[in-house]
Every structure is written in C-alpha cells, then in structure tokens.
Structure 1
Amino acid sequence: MNEVNKTFENPERHIHVKYYNKNSPYYIEDMTKAERDIASHQEYSYLRNNKLSSYNSNDAVLRDRAPVFFDVEIAERKAYNREKVNEQFKQLLQLRGIEIEKDEKLTFTIDPYRYKVTVNGTEDESLKKKIEEVLETAENSRELFYHIVSSLSADSSQYSTDKSMKQAVIRAVSDATGYYLNELNVVDGRFVTEKGEDVFEIFEKSIKEDSSIPEFSKGYIITGYKEDMDELAQRGIDNVGDLVLSIEYENGSFYDIAQSENFGTGKTDWIEQMQKAKIIEYEKNKRTEEQDTEIINSDKFTYKEVQNKLIKEILEITGYDLNNLERKDGRFLTGEKEDIFEIYKKELLVEHLIKELEESKIDYYGEMLKRFAKEDNFFIGKDEEKTISLEKDTWIDNKSASFLNNDIYG
C-alpha cells in the first residue's frame, strides 16, 4: 500500500481521497468510518516514517483473520517444545536400551551450577544410575535445565529473581575462570581462590582477552557481574537460594511441577480454554466498539450517551469521577482546585505515544468538558432522551470526532 501511495504526485492526498472522497475513482467501498480512520492513519504513519509505529487489530486488512493472542501463542510454542523434548528423550532412552515401566512416575532434579541430575521415584538403583548417566552426557542435563527454565510460569514456586541472579553469575564466572563462587571463601568482601587470588580479577582478565566477545560489550559484562558478585559477597552467598529445578516424567512425557501451567502431554487443555475465553472477550469488546462507532457516526447523540462517554474517559485516564467534582467558570475542579482537564491532558500525553492522535483526542474532550461544566442540567436524569447534534456544533470537527472511538488507540 505504501509503495502504491508513493507512485502518486501527492501521496497524502491520495490516501485521503481513497478513504473519504466518494467521488474519487480510487474510493474504497465497504468500510466503516472507524476502519477508514484506522487505515488512513496507518498509511500516513508508514509514509512519513517508512514503518509502522503501532498497529490496530481492527484494521480492515485484518478483517478476515482470526485474532492473535500473544500469551496463547507463547503457551502453544512451549507445549510444542515440550513434545519435541519428549521425543528426544525417548530416542536417548532407546539408544541406551533403557526402558521405564508404564505409569512409573520419576522426578528429575538438576543442580543449577554443574547441572548434575538426581533421579527420584524408583527403587531400581540400576535404572536410576543409567538415566542419570544419559542425562549428564553431552550436556543433556544442561539442555533439560534450560528447557525447565523456559517452561516456568509466573507463579512457579521454584523460581525467584534472586535465585536466577545467583545462578547466572556463578555460571558466568565458572565459564570464564573455572571457579565456582559457591565453593569459595569470601575475604574482605571478595571471593578468593585457595591461593588468595581475587576471582573477579581473574574473571575480568578472561573477559577482556576473550575474542568471541564484542569489544563494546566487555565493559557492560564486567561491570554487571562485578555488581552481582559484590552483592552475593555482602549478603552471604549461602543466604541466597539456589535455582534447583525439578520436573516429573511419566509415560513418555515430562510434566511441570510447582506451578499452575503444565505443558506435558494431555495436560494442555488449559491453553485451548484460555484461547476460547480470550475470543469471547475479544468479540464482546469488538461489539462494544462497533456500538460506539455507530454512535459516533450518527447525526444525533443522546445527551446521556455523550455524558457517559465523557465521564468514562475522564475516570479511566485520571481516576476522578466528574460526578464528584466542583464546577466553576466552565471548569471541573478537584478538591485541591486543580483543573481536571489539565490533569487529563498531562496523563494522556504520558500514557500514549501517538502524538497526532493524542492532540485531537485532547481537543475533543477539552471542548466537551468546557461545554458540560457550564450546563446546569449535566447530571439531571430526566434529560436522558434529550438529543444534541454534535456534527453541527462549532466546538467539534470531523477530525476530532473520529477520535472519540477508543479503538483508534488499539
């Protein structure tokens, strides 16, 4: 679309006429007012910046596509990865001639520093030893450790930021120096070797001499891990928990523990349920947006509709309910005598990034506030059926009116 627009002498004018000039041969039929506003904004943005700064799921070009929910996508990807790991582990067992009996539930626990695996849940010591050997060969245990990390959900009781920080710095120092901080002593706030050498100095030297690390990154790496090492030394390394991770295995699949999300075979129905719930919510919100659009595009607005829209907008952005504010000299004032419009304007400019949309929206609601602050019957319920012709009023133009629809900000 952008390339086609640029073939015209005046690309911006072409964008305008194809969405708003019904007499133009380029006019596009079968679009709602909201879709025209979205499409024109997207194309203006692309033309000016050669990229999209944002996108709107209600864009007409996406009309026939199912909505995309990124948390559902992430969950589906994790479930897919789990099936692949299951297949790989089965192949490892088959190659070694190891057979785990049906319905036997095992728990694999992995040390976060040397990636040593412990198998629990079986009294067969021979089986236990064989599985541990398989996992500790060719970094299989390390791969399984990070697969568990990538499968952790937000409510996992196995994880914490402190544990993660400790694991990361110990592994980084070990990879660079061969020393494990959790096996060293702390002297004068520094981790030292048996010979009394400062481990950080060894680490720093190793990073500086590592040709595989870009020069511009070395300073950040050294500084970042120095801070973490100092924190561990100060707090006492044993006073920070270890990121020891466990996962269960049964009937050919790994199963997550100590969290609400499970990506094991037969345990992923919750992903489908989450998607169904999101689709229902999406359709509900879409119907609401369409109803709002119908109101915007009509010649007449009921007094109550305009009033409710104003109250809702101000409450969502500022936290203040207009019903509870003082009205004076055409302004709504808080208990501290602050002009609610100034608060609204400041909050909106902080919250949103699309400047041209913000300004039109601010202008629209600013005029709305001025008008209703002066009206004595603003909150009189009997006037619900009173109608106001907004399109004919001088205090609103078509550009501002289009931004009353919240889906513009999608």
Structure 2
Amino acid sequence: MGIQYTSNTDYYNKIPEYRDINLLPKNSSSDTSVGYQYTDMTEEMRIGIQVTREHYEKVYQENLKHSNPLAYITEKYYDKSSRHFCGYMTEEQRVFAARTEKTMIETGGKTMCGYASYDYSLRNYEGIYTGGKNTGFRLNTDREKQYARSVINQQIYSLLAKTGIQVTNQMNLKFQIDPYSYKLTVTGNASKDILSAIEQILNEGDNAKNLWHHLWICMHDRDNEIINSQGSYRKAEQQSLWHEFYQTTGYDIRESKYQNGTFIAEDGTDLLELYKKNAKHVEGIDLYTKRFLNFAQNGWNKACDLTIAVGFDSSGLYDIGQENGFGINQATWIKGGIQNILDAKV
C-alpha cells in the first residue's frame, strides 16, 4: 500500500523545483538516501570565522591571566563602573562577547563554529560587519534549517513509500540516534514489523548519521547557543573526542582503561601514544590529549552521551526538548511563516 500524506501534501509540493533534494552531504556512502548538504561557506564566511576565532583565542589567553576569569569577563561587559568596562561596544555586542568568552573558559578554549556579523571584532571588515545590532549567526540560518527539514521529511516519506509503509494520522514514533555508531532505533505506536522495517531503512548507508547531524544543527539558535535540553557543550566535546580518537586510532576509547597516566586498550595498546603518532593535525594533539584525560580518567560517562531523539508523525519530523522547533507544527515562530521559508533561496 502506498504512503498516505494526510493533510500535509501542500507542504511538500511547495518545495521549489530548482532545489535538488538528492544533494546529500559530502562523503555520504553510495547507499544513502537521507540527508541535506548545507550551504557551502563563502569567502566572506571564511574570513569572518578566521578573524573572530583569532580574536577570541587571543582574548581567551588574556582572560586566563586573571585569578577569576569568569568574574573578570562579567566585570568588563556588565559593570559600567569598572575601568575595564567596554563602553565602546553596543549592549548586544557586549552580551555576545561575554557569552562567547565564558563558553570558551567553561569548555577549555573551544571556539565557535561560525561567527556573528555584528561582532565588534569585525568592525574593520567591510562587507562582513553589519554594525552593532544583532543580525544573527552567519552559518546555517533558521530558514535553511527549516528548508533542510522539509527536504529530509520528503526523503524519509519517499523511502517509506517504496517499502509500502503507510503513515497515518494516528502514527507517532520516536527516532533515537546513537552519537558514536549513529545507529537509529525506532519506538512508537506501530507494529513490531513496521518499526523494524523503518529502522532497517533509516540505518542504510549514512542515513542515520546525516539525520543526527541535521538534528544537532537544529538544536542551536542563531547565536549558535544550544537550545535543546538533550544537548550540552560537554556532551558535544565528549562526542567529538570519541570520533577524533576512533578515526585516528581505530579504537573505541570507551573500552580502554586509565593506567599510569595513559589509556590502555584491551589488547595492551597505549592509545595516547598511538593517537600522538597518527594525529593528522599536530596543533590538536595537546587539546585532545588534555580533553581525553579530563573526560575518561574516571571512566566514560554515559550520561554525557549526545544521543538525540526526534519525533516523527504524519507531519514529518518534529523536535523534542526545545521550544522553537523545525517541525511543520513547530515552525510558526520563524519570521515569514512556513510557505516563505520553503520558497526561500537559501
């Protein structure tokens, strides 16, 4: 039996024909059918990221010179009576700078993955700087996230239709994706056979991996702050740490044991030594080594696993754990409404 689109057929029909819904993320395996390739960075974006990253890395080192870095950051951005107060910035610039610098202190120097075009550090870069007013983060905009969601919804519906799975108004499922293996599991009010069939389809190729990354992007606001209760910077660091070591050494660091200042795999391999030997980016060795010691010395914390769950019903995917989601019935908060979003050239 073919798929039943219920009341949302118009939503999918409004996806612009000029967009290629088969443009999957780069490096997806040949048997992948689900995913969205976000807009590649422009030269302006690269410059913006480079300038702000260098700026905040320098400021991070300066902040560390103070006995209480967090208190110092609060003082210079919020205490107007302080001689350190940055009165030359707008209030929005101070708020953004304070949040960025505090995050770097709390995460051991982790920099942003994008940039804010109103950041004071960009004031001398014409064509990039938009002034002191908050214009949002310049990477993966809300409009593009919503468009990506509509594309992925259609991809999933198409896969289910080919298998003869009918999505009714009563169906309500939950997809949960492991952050390491990217294995997806399905639960909900459908028969075991249907749940198993959907699991099999969505675990083909890099479908679940691409879906995980899309959901992770959607868990951030326009200032790149995590707004979903499922996520945190610590969870993100643990997830990236695991993948860095797995890709570099081929070992699952969760199965290693801390011994004499290093980590030993079950076969006796010293994982820190192997990582240092094989690491592609020399500048990242110290960072990941320190992070590894910080995260895993007392055993891997499963509570910090960045497992992501998302709902799925007749309207498509809907976010769990955040107020401003990107599901059809969640996206009314986005300026312009759903129809404009789907028609937008992102």
**Structure 1 length-normalised TM:** 0.46
Does residue 1:100 correspond to 2:167, yes or no? Answer: yes
Does residue 1:133 correspond to 2:200, yes or no? Answer: yes
Structure 2 SS opposite 1:263: coil
Q: Contact between 1:185 and 1:193, CA under 8 Å: does it hold in 2?
A: yes
Matched residues in 2 for 1:99 and 1:254: separation? 16
| Paired residue type of 2:136 | F
**Cα drift, residue 266 of structure 1:** 2.9
Q: Contact between 1:166 and 1:240, CA under 8 Å: does it hold in 2?
A: no
Which of 233, 236, 242 in structure 2 is aligned with 1:170? 242
Deviations 1:293-328 (A, max 9, x none): xxxxxxxxxxxxxxxxxxxxxxxxxxxxxxxxxxxx
Structure 1 pair 116–56 and aligned structure 2 pair: CA distance change class (3 A): closer
Structure 1 pair 232–71 and aligned structure 2 pair: CA distance change class (3 A): closer
Q: Contact between 2:264 and 2:271, CA under 8 Å: does it hold in 1?
A: yes
Structure 2 SS opposite 1:237: coil
- In the other structure, the counterpart of 1:236 is 299
Unaligned runs of 5+ in 2: 1-123, 221-225, 338-346
- 1:2-401 to structure 2, matched below 5 A, reads 51=126, 54-55=129-130, 69-70=135-136, 74-153=141-220, 154-208=226-280, 218-238=281-301, 241-272=304-335
Matched residues in 1 for 2:181 and 2:190: separation? 25
Q: Contact between 1:190 and 1:233, CA under 8 Å: does it hold in 2?
A: no
Unaligned runs of 5+ in 1: 1-48, 58-66, 209-217, 275-410
Structure 1 pair 140–55 and aligned structure 2 pair: CA distance change class (3 A): closer
Greater relative CO (CA pairs within 8 A, separation 6+): 2
**Cα drift, residue 235 of structure 1:** 4.2
**Cα drift, residue 170 of structure 1:** 0.5
Q: Contact between 1:166 and 1:242, CA under 8 Å: does it hold in 2?
A: yes
Matched residues in 2 for 1:56 and 1:75: separation? 21
Task: Please report the RMSD computed on the Cα atoms of aligned residues, expressed in angstroms.
Answer: 2.8
Deviations 1:155-189 (A, max 9, x none): 31101111111111111211222211122222224
Matched residues in 2 for 1:53 and 1:150: separation? 23
**Cα drift, residue 197 of structure 1:** 1.1
- In the other structure, the counterpart of 1:289 is none
Q: Contact between 2:173 and 2:312, CA under 8 Å: does it hold in 1?
A: yes
Structure 2 SS opposite 1:118: strand
Q: Contact between 2:257 and 2:299, CA under 8 Å: does it hold in 1?
A: no
**Cα drift, residue 270 of structure 1:** 1.1
Matched residues in 2 for 1:193 and 1:257: separation? 36
Structure 1 pair 123–173 and aligned structure 2 pair: CA distance change class (3 A): same
**Cα drift, residue 91 of structure 1:** 1.8
Matched residues in 1 for 2:125 and 2:142: separation? 32
Q: Contact between 1:247 and 1:255, CA under 8 Å: does it hold in 2?
A: yes
Structure 1 pair 68–157 and aligned structure 2 pair: CA distance change class (3 A): closer
Deviations 1:186-245 (A, max 9, x none): 22242211121111222222225xxxxxxxxx2112222111111113343227511111
Q: Contact between 2:315 and 2:327, CA under 8 Å: does it hold in 1?
A: no
Matched residues in 2 for 1:235 and 1:79: separation? 40
**Cα drift, residue 74 of structure 1:** 2.1
Identity over the aligned pairs, expressed in percent? 28
Structure 2 SS opposite 1:127: helix
Q: Which has the higher helix share?
A: 1
Matched residues in 1 for 2:267 and 2:336: separation? 59
**Cα drift, residue 105 of structure 1:** 0.5
Larger Rg: 1
